[in-house]
Structure 1
């Protein structure tokens, strides 16, 4: 039991320094992207609407913090190395 979340780092608290710069919602989305996730899954995990998540992901992708790739009918988002470094610093 519980092994599935053993390596899931999205349960760690969102770093306050990152939230101060990016905003609470975008920082939380980055935090939740410990493994690739869809817009719908991110919306369910964060309580944001799918449209709001999509807008934030677009901004994060434009900043080079998130990448996206298609997997069947889903578009999955993942953190970039830059986002990983940002989360480690704070």
Structure 2
């Protein structure tokens, strides 16, 4: 009976993981909210989400916004962590 419980537990965990909502850049109304979400994705190691969010920020933020240099820095770090060293340079 024990192997059946393990299989059931594994199936439940996979089903729960599959129900996790995807990261949607468009759900953030402000650049500040997107920046906070992007840094959370970065901290969690979800490089694709972090790259997408920071890339959007670098095109949407005005030139004098204090978040712009930080967005570029995090974008480069996310590319580097994802193994995209040329894009990080």
TM norm structure 1: 0.31
Rg larger for: 2
Higher helix content, 1 or 2? 2
Higher strand content, 1 or 2? 1
TM norm structure 2: 0.32
